[in-house]
Amino acid sequence: LWGMGYNWKGQLGDGTTSSRNTPVKVVDSGVTAVAAGKYHSLFIKSDGSLWTMGWNYYGELGDGTTTQRNSPVKVVDSGVTAVAAGNYHSLFIKSDGSLWGMGVNSSGQLGDGTTTNRSIPVKIVNSGITAVAAGSSHSLYTTTDGTLWAMGNNGIGQLGDGTTTQRISPVRS
Q: What is the pLDDT of residues 20-32, one digit of tens each?
A: 999 999 999 999 9
Per-residue pLDDT band for 128 (boundaries 50, 70, 90) equals: very high
State the Cα torsion 63-130-169-88 to the nearest 10°.
40
d(CA 84, CA 159): 17
d(CA 76, CA 52): 10
Q: What is the mean pLDDT of residues 144-148?
A: 98
Residue 40 three-state SS: strand
Pairing of strands 129-134, 80-85: unpaired
pLDDT at 35: 98
Q: What is the pLDDT of residues 100-124, one digit of tens each?
A: 999 999 999 999 999 999 999 999 9
| pTM exceeding 0.85 | yes
Q: Which residues contact 131 (CB under 8 A, 6 or more apart)?
A: 82, 93, 141, 142
Single-letter amino acid, residue 4: M
pLDDT at 148: 98
Phi then psi dihedrals of residue 156, to 5 deg: -120, 25
Q: Where are the beta strands (DSSP E) in the chain?
A: 2-5, 20-25, 31-36, 40-45, 50-54, 69-76, 80-85, 89-94, 99-103, 118-125, 129-134, 138-143, 148-152, 167-172
Q: What is the pLDDT of residues 43-59, one digit of tens each?
A: 999 999 999 999 999 99
Q: What is the mean pLDDT of residues 146-160?
A: 98
